[in-house]
Amino acid sequence: MVQSAILGFPRMGVNRDLKKATEAYWGGKISQADLLAEAKRLRLAHWKIQQDAGVDVIPSNDFALYDHVLNHIQDFGAVPPRYTKDGLDLVDQYFAMGRGHQKNGIDVPSLEMVKWFDSNYHYVKPTLQNGQTFKLADEPKAVAAFNEAKEAGIKTRPVLVGPVSFLHLGKADRDQTVDPIDLLDALLPVYEQLLVKLKEAGAETVQIDEPTLVFDLPAKSKAAFKPAYEKFASLGDKIPKLVFTTYFGDIVHNLDVLPKDVYAVHVDLVRNPEQLDEVIGALGPKTILSAGVVDGRNIWKTNFKRAIETVETAVQKLGKDRVIAATSSSLLHTPHTLASEKKLDAEIADWFSFASEKAVEIATIAKAVTEGPAAVREQLEANAKSLQARASSSRTNDPKVKDRQSKVTEADYKRKSEFPTRISLQQKKLNLPLFPTTTIGSFPQTKEIRLQRNRFTKGEITEAEYDKFIEKEIEENVKIQEELDLDVFVHGEPERNDMVQFFGERLNGYTFTTHAWVQSYGSRCVRPPIIVGDISRPAPMTVKESKYAVSISKKPMKGMLTGPVTCLRWSFPRDDVHQSVQAEQLALALRDEVVDLQNAGVGVIQVDEPALREGLPLRAGKERTAYLDWAVKAFRLSTAGVEDDTQIHSHFCYSEFQDFFHAIAALDADVLSIENSKSDAKLLKVFVDEAYPRHIGPGVYDIHSPRVPSEQEIKDRIQEMLAHLKPEQLWIDPDCGLKTRQWKETKEALVNLVNAAKAFRAQYSK
Ligand SMILES: Nc1nc2c(c(=O)[nH]1)N[C@@H](CNc1ccc(C(=O)N[C@@H](CCC(=O)N[C@@H](CCC(=O)N[C@@H](CCC(=O)O)C(=O)O)C(=O)O)C(=O)O)cc1)CN2
Ligand SMILES: [Zn+2]
């Protein structure tokens, strides 16, 4: 029979229960025992959902209190010494690595956190030492979770990040020179012990995630697969059978290192259906194919007909016992359940499927193949009807939008003059000092702000009352910035629930949800709005607040928008229209907003594109070139409508600019602010090597953690930057927006930032 399998389930719970519990624990409101009990309750609830849906293979150890890669860092004894020296207990040590720890005389920043492949999820980077040794934890989380499920009568398949991916996704610690992949021999014994323990606990199979196989790997990483999996093969029955799992791309270019003697190989056939034949051809003689046919990254109902055909194609070649029907990746990237959405238009809701619904889908698909379509006739018919209704719905199509797109010309992508002309006009108007200071946009989203917004959403206060409240917040933000003596102000974004959802709620062509939360990092979640049709702007979206902010401040005020590519990437996009078309529609809507802001007296406008880098196709080549072309064009289309003396800023909070520099330069933004504080100034080198001519503010401190950087630390950062950049092109700012921070630490950090900038200003204007 064809089994159904899920590669991972969202962790937050139906009401973001995990978020609430971890934040309550951090805030000292619940005990560690309470937190762990809540986590246990959630794991069990999530296994039950999958069991009730009829899923055959249910994952365990996909759960994490903060991040699953961080779980491995701790369980493998790969904790950098700065987190072990203070004697924190294991849970607090774990959170210290995730978010830093500054309490009772202990002061450690967090480990670096970066994007998980091309998703909006972030993982904690394994951060390794020269001569790193590994040691398996006394109670590895994978074993504990397996046993926990077993006690509840549920047999699960533990999930591990594989050794090659664990190392490849890691890095050498600051001042260390080790190439992580060289640590393979040191690491493998820990996997062996862990796999043996899982086998002893009763695990028959283990899902071993090696998604790095989808990359163009450096030779050393690629060569590491063979010894690693030969080692596992040599352990025979002492360890569970391995399901070698890849996702988010095709593995055709790396088939020469695909292990032949693993029990099963999983591939993502939603992203890359075309790899099916070649992968089958490269399987070992007994290896099972796990076919990823239900999308782990989007919320559209699965096309049953197509998914079943794909699985059947595999069955024809391999037989029913050598095929598993699975989700394409973990369902981590999808919301918990559609059942929570009480306000969605019924017509549109019928097009969606969230994690809990996908569990039913994958079980249905497996059943259809095993028992024949008659066994699930009703489900197949209902599915075909939904898909047909969506395809023919008038709500997806807007001829006016298409007409405007057809009229875009080359001139629309270009500013009136080149940068040197623009910057001198801007300088005349703005009159900024050397090393101008600014922030990235948002100020703390306080409990009070959320509460008032919640009351407004529920109709407990009127729009006028809510607007008044927001004005008061803006006023307060301006006052604080005056006191801090920053140079370019922001209004603070108090009116925004999220930088993407806010725009989704104001654009035609979008729909949005009330409960469809997806984990972004740690306890932080996003509610991606859903693009269902052609996009247009019915009315200005941000002008009211920015105009008000301008009217009450003596210093230049920066308007704040989310760029077209980021709006696209952090939404659930349509799957029936190419992403470039959706980006262009967003760009045209934003272009009107940019011009409206300028005409309302906003002289500096920041168009954030933090997701531009994350959208870069994972492999170099034609696809990447094409992406960069349309993504850069979308940004330029959204910003090029302004006069020369309007200063366009853009912001990027994900580093790794090496393979990406030319695209950033091609945006032609007057000022860039980029995340830098954790990347050891190395990333700046590319800006020097390429003689980047425009202005740039590499972040001087990490905002993801409540830790306050000292003035000296910030000065050291600035000094490092000056080794690479000219004083007249340097701006001083934090790494990213401050919405997740408390006011206390925000003010303290910004005081230090402004003082550091002033010290350099004094030094350089002598
Ligand atoms: N979309 C997106 N992706 C991104 C980022 C981003 O800002 N947006 N930033 C980067 C890092 N990721 C981040 C992701 C989320 C958050 C974040 O702060 N999320 C908030 C939720 C933001 C939000 O939508 N807030 C809503 C709803 C708030 C809420 O929980 N309301 C309560 C009720 C109010 C209360 O009493 O608190 C409820 O609904 O139950 C609002 O402010 O209106 C959180 O998890 O806490 C920050 C950074 C990368 N990716
Ligand atoms: Zn940012």
Is 525 assigned to a binding site?
Answer: yes
Is 567 assigned to a binding site?
Answer: no
d(Cα 60, Cα 266) in Å, to the nearest integer? 17
Q: Which residue pairs from 316-321 have beta carbons closer than 8 angstroms and sit at least 24 positions apart in sequence? A: 317/280, 318/280, 318/283, 318/288, 318/289, 320/1, 320/2, 320/369, 320/370, 321/1, 321/288
Residue 719 has pLDDT above 90, yes or no: yes
Using the mean position of ligand 2's atoms as its centre, give its distance from the Cα of residue 440 in Å.
Answer: 7
For 745, the token pair is 């630490």
d(Cα 753, Cα 711) in Å, to the nearest integer? 6
Instruction: Please report how the helices 32-52 and 90-99 are oriented relative to each other, as an axis angle in degrees rounded to 10.
Output: 80
pLDDT (average), residues 415-443? 98
Q: How many residues does the chain have?
A: 766
Exposed, middle or buried: residue 464 (CB in 10 Å: 0-12, 13-18, 19+)? exposed
DSSP 139: S
Look at the block and give the residue holding tokens 């999308």: 295
Question: Residues with Cβ within 6 A of ligand 1?
Answer: 120, 445, 450-451, 453-454, 497-501, 520-521, 524-527, 570, 739-740
State the pLDDT at residue 671: 98
Is 662 assigned to a binding site?
Answer: yes
Ligand 1: which residue has its CA nearest to atom 18?
740
State the pLDDT at residue 214: 98
ipTM summary value: 0.96
**Residue among 445, 526, 606 whose CB has most ligand 1 atoms within 8 A, to mutate:** 526
Distances (CA, A) of 111 to 122, 139, 411, 676, 734: 12, 23, 45, 14, 17
Who contacts 425 (Cβ-Cβ below 8 Å, separation ≥6)?
644, 645
Model confidence at 139, pLDDT cuts 50, 70, 90, reads very high
Model confidence at 679, pLDDT cuts 50, 70, 90, reads low
Distances (CA, A) of 523 to 12, 22, 541, 704, 740: 8, 7, 29, 12, 11
Cβ atoms < 10 Å from Cβ of 347: 12
Is 185 assigned to a binding site?
Answer: no
List, in sequence order, every residue forming a beta bridge with 127; answer none if it has no partner: 171
Who contacts 625 (Cβ-Cβ below 8 Å, separation ≥6)?
none
Residue 678 has pLDDT above 90, yes or no: no
Who contacts 177 (Cβ-Cβ below 8 Å, separation ≥6)?
130
Residue 316 has pLDDT above 80, yes or no: yes
Share of the chain above pLDDT 70, in %: 99
* In contact, 165 and 209? CB cutoff 8 Å: yes
Q: Which is nearest to 598 in space by CA: 636, 651, 561, 568?
A: 561
Ligand 1: which residue has its CA nearest to atom 33?
454
For 97, the token pair is 């690595």
State the pLDDT at residue 684: 81
**Three-state DSSP state, 242:** strand
Ligand 1: which residue has its CA nearest to atom 49?
120
d(Cα 97, Cα 83) in Å, to the nearest integer? 7
pLDDT (average), residues 205-227? 98
Judged by its nearest atom, the ligand closest to the C-alpha of residue 500 is: 1
Judged by its nearest atom, the ligand closest to the C-alpha of residue 514 is: 1
State the pLDDT at residue 653: 86
* In contact, 585 and 534? CB cutoff 8 Å: yes
For 56, the token pair is 């055959």
Using the mean position of ligand 1's atoms as its centre, give its distance from the Cα of residue 480 in Å.
Answer: 23
State the chain's mean pLDDT as an integer.
96
- The pLDDT tens digits of the residues spanning 379-411 come to 999 999 999 999 999 999 999 999 999 999 999
d(Cα 676, Cα 541) in Å, to the nearest integer? 30
DSSP 527: -
Look at the block and give the residue holding tokens 């062509």: 509
d(Cα 415, Cα 176) in Å, to the nearest integer? 44
Amino acid identity, residue 510? Y
Note the pTM of the prediction, 2 decimals.
0.96
Is 608 assigned to a binding site?
Answer: yes
pLDDT (average), residues 632-646? 98
For 329, the token pair is 């990746």
Burial call 288-307: b when 16+ CB within 10 Å, e when fewer: bbbbbbbbbbbbbbbbbeeb
State the pLDDT at residue 704: 84
Judged by its nearest atom, the ligand closest to the C-alpha of residue 23 is: 1
Using the mean position of ligand 2's atoms as its centre, give its distance from the Cα of residue 343 in Å.
Answer: 31
**Residue among 450, 572, 735 whose CB has most ligand 1 atoms within 8 A, to mutate:** 450
Provide the residues around ligand 2 (an ion) whose CB is within 5 A.
610, 653, 736
Q: Is 704 a catalytic residue?
A: yes
Look at the block and give the residue holding tokens 């025979």: 236
End-to-end CA distance of the chain: 80
Residue 766 has pLDDT above 90, yes or no: no
* In contact, 244 and 207? CB cutoff 8 Å: no
Using the mean position of ligand 1's atoms as its centre, give its distance from the Cα of residue 726 in Å.
Answer: 37
Model confidence at 680, pLDDT cuts 50, 70, 90, reads low
State the pLDDT at residue 102: 85
Lowest mean pLDDT among 370-379, 411-420, 609-618: 609-618
Lowest mean pLDDT among 63-77, 496-510, 641-655: 641-655
Share of the chain above pLDDT 90, in %: 93
Half-sphere exposure (CA, 13 Å, Cβ side) for 149?
Answer: 30
Lowest mean pLDDT among 243-252, 282-291, 642-651, 721-730: 721-730
Phi, psi of 333 (to 5 degrees): -90, 5
> Could you identify the atom of ligand 1 that is nearest to the CA of residue 457?
43
State the pLDDT at residue 369: 98
For 324, the token pair is 């598993």
pLDDT (average), residues 292-305? 98
* In contact, 127 and 80? CB cutoff 8 Å: yes
